[in-house]
Amino acid sequence: MEHILSSFHSLDSPVFHRPLPLHRRPRWPRMGSSTPHHRNNQNKTKLIVIMGATGTGKSRLSIDLSTHFPHSQIINSDKMQLYNGLDITTNKIPLPERKGVQHYLLGEFDSIDADVEPSQFRSAAGSTIADIASRGNLPLLVGGSNTFIHALLVETFDPQVDVFAESSSVSRALRYDCCFLWVDVAWSVLSEYLCIRVDEMLDSGMLEELAQFYDPTKAGVMVGLRKAIGVPEFDAYFRKYQPWESPENGVVPNKDRDQSRREAYEEALREIKDNTCRLAKRQIGKILRLREGGWDFTRFDATATFQALMKKKQSSAVAAPELEWREIWEREVVEPSVKIVKRFLEE
């Protein structure tokens, strides 16, 4: 851990990243058989865990922390982002935004028509954390799939037990020395932002990506990557209006059909926004469940950041609002997170 702390950068220091080695796609294992500091954590691997609902800035914070702790490496814990494909639809962080930071388990599972079970994730992510730590680097677990996070972190995992059911209890015995960072946003602000984000994803090519992914022989199949929000909603749309039906492909425009097509499109869009908000609510509920079970979270309120960010999106003045939301994010989320992580690593 001294290796990591020796390279800690102050909030004002410039950072230069060394080139990182190419990551070899791991071989996925078959299914195998509060406070987290209630036990002696001296011999446990230290792990930073960044949690939060979809769209709250977890990936952004992980990159910001990696800037201050340049030996950090990131393990994805978002279920849909494990799969290879649909990068826009699943909101994978684009390569340029990763700033040279090594990411693991991000788009590395090729069998898109099979579910990744929590026990599989526990094995794959556990091996990845051990490998990162063995080379003197700092593992950061980042993602919103709390069922997978729980499966990975608890000392004893029973795949037959749903710890998020009311009749179950959450274990406080963890197999890592964890520093939990919870990025939260007021629901009224987050729900509005999530709807804006869906519109931006469509502007970025989500519809075209889903059109290429569409397979009429798999209509109604809900497994693996096909569970990603956007796939079933637009599958229903494509069943009525095949992706290849367009004037460019020789289909004659029809006013009534075009109106029906627009209505079907708007319905798919509404369903995506509604289902995204439902997902965020479920994620928040599971985080609260883990906290009630004794997991020691530090909560960061990023509401002001997202209010400023949406103000920027709605404003014609670019420079000032852009600076405003970044300054708020740095002051209210990044800087206190850096202090907490530094103190955690020194323990």
pLDDT at 269: 97
Q: Any bridge partners for residue 47, and if so which?
A: 178
Checking if the pLDDT of 24 tops 80, the result is no
Residues 205 and 88 in one domain: no
pLDDT at 13: 38
At residue 32 the predicted structure's pLDDT band, cuts being 50, 70 and 90, is very low
According to the 3-state scheme, what is the secondary structure of 286-297? HHHHHHHCCCCE
CATH code of residue 62? 3.40.50.300
Residues in the chain, total: 347
Sign of CA dihedral 284, 288, 291, 297: positive
Q: How many domains in the chain?
A: 2
**pLDDT tens digits along 226-263:** 999 999 999 999 998 988 665 444 444 455 568 899 99
* pLDDT, average across residues 255-273: 88
Residues 199 and 241 in one domain: yes
DSSP 107: S
CB 169 within 8 A of CB 293: yes
Residues 136 and 240 in one domain: no
CATH code of residue 226? 1.10.287.890
Name the more confident of 148 and 40.
148
Asked if residue 278 belongs to a domain, the reply is: no
Name the more confident of 1 and 285.
285
pLDDT at 220: 79
Torsion of CA 249, 255, 261, 265, to 10 degrees: 110
Helix (H, G, I), strand (E, B) or coil at 61: helix
CB atoms within 10 A of CB 203: 10
Distance CA 199, CA 318 (A): 19
DSSP 98: G
CB 341 within 8 A of CB 179: yes
Sign of CA dihedral 5, 6, 12, 14: negative
Asked if residue 11 belongs to a domain, the reply is: no
Letter string b/e over residues 271-280, b meaning 16 or more CB atoms within 10 A of that residue's CB:
bbbeebbebb
State the chain's mean pLDDT as an integer: 86
Strands 72-76, 138-142: pairing kind: parallel
| Backbone dihedral angles phi then psi of residue 50, each to the nearest 5 degrees | -105, 120
Checking if the pLDDT of 315 tops 90, the result is no
Name the more confident of 37 and 277.
277
pLDDT at 250: 44
Asked if residue 51 belongs to a domain, the reply is: yes
| Backbone dihedral angles phi then psi of residue 13, each to the nearest 5 degrees | -85, 145
At residue 5 the predicted structure's pLDDT band, cuts being 50, 70 and 90, is low
At residue 144 the predicted structure's pLDDT band, cuts being 50, 70 and 90, is very high
Helix (H, G, I), strand (E, B) or coil at 182: strand
Residues 193 and 173 in one domain: no
pLDDT at 323: 72
**pLDDT tens digits along 51-70:** 999 999 999 999 999 999 98
Asked if residue 6 belongs to a domain, the reply is: no
Residues 60 and 179 in one domain: yes
What is the token pair recorded at 302? 């990023």
Checking if the pLDDT of 26 tops 50, the result is no
Name the more confident of 166 and 294.
294
**pLDDT tens digits along 149-204:** 999 999 999 999 999 998 888 999 999 999 999 999 999 999 999 999 999 999 99
pLDDT at 345: 95
Residues 71 and 169 in one domain: yes
Distance CA 98, CA 140 (A): 13
Asked if residue 1 belongs to a domain, the reply is: no
Asked if residue 203 belongs to a domain, the reply is: yes
pLDDT at 2: 53
Checking if the pLDDT of 87 tops 60, the result is yes
Report DSSP letters for 185-204, one per residue: --HHHHHHHHHHHHHHHHHT
Instruction: Print the domain residue range for 268.
Output: 189-246+255-273
Please return the burial class of 318, using the count of CB atoms within 10 Å of its CB with bins 0-12, 13-18 and 19+.
exposed
| 79 CB-near residues (< 8 Å, 6+ apart) | 116, 121, 143, 145, 147, 148
Residues 80 and 137 in one domain: yes
Predicted model pTM? 0.84
Residue 91: closest CA among 196, 201, 195, 231: 201
Type of residue at 334 = V
Residues 267 and 147 in one domain: no
Asked if residue 312 belongs to a domain, the reply is: yes
Residues 223 and 74 in one domain: no
Residues 134 and 201 in one domain: no
Distance CA 68, CA 59 (A): 15
**pLDDT tens digits along 97-136:** 999 999 999 999 988 888 999 999 999 999 999 999 999 9
Greatest pairwise CA separation for the chain in angstroms: 72
Asked if residue 326 belongs to a domain, the reply is: yes
Residues 181 and 194 in one domain: no
Helix (H) or strand (E) holding 261: helix 255-292
Distance CA 226, CA 113 (A): 7
Residues 294 and 216 in one domain: no
Distance CA 145, CA 115 (A): 14
CB atoms within 10 A of CB 337: 22
pLDDT at 35: 40
